[in-house]
Amino acid sequence: DQQVKQNSPSLSVQEGRISILNCDYTNSMFDYFLWYKKYPAEGPTFLISISSIKDKNEDGRFTVFLNKSAKHLSLHIVPSQPGDSAVYFCAASARDSGTYKYIFGTGTRLKVLA
């Protein structure tokens, strides 16, 4: 059972335009959401996060939106740059039996075209 879903395996966007990456989740107990970026042959690196008590968090060109009623979050990158080309993973965490674990989606490969 995939608790965190990224239904778009890939996305291509022109440089300077907006990139929107989507993520859906099924577990209403998730209370913290994260986006990670991964380049080939490297480990994932943290990008931005949002707590379930907020609906928006912004950091420079990156904004994450959370819609709790729809169990949906999205990552907006504006403006997109060629260096943003990578695989983006959505992750969620919840307290489970007294501990926290991160559950990851399958990733979306973003290609920003120059």
Instruction: Work out whether 69 is an interface residue with another protein (CB under 8 A).
Output: no
- Asked if 89 touches another protein (CB under 8 A), the answer is yes
Which one of 17, 26, 102, 113 is in contact with another protein (CB under 8 A)? 102
Closest approach of another protein to the CB of residue 52, in Å: 9
Q: Write the DSSP string, 45-89.
A: EEEEEEETT-SEEEETTEEEEEETTTTEEEEEESS--GGG-EEEE
CA dihedral 35, 36, 37, 39 (to 10 degrees): -160
Instruction: Compare residues 65 and 104 and give the one whose CB is closer to another protein.
Output: 104
Task: Please report, as ranges, the residues that interact with another protein according to CB under 8 A.
Answer: 4, 6, 9, 31-32, 34, 36, 41-46, 49, 51, 89, 93, 95, 99-107
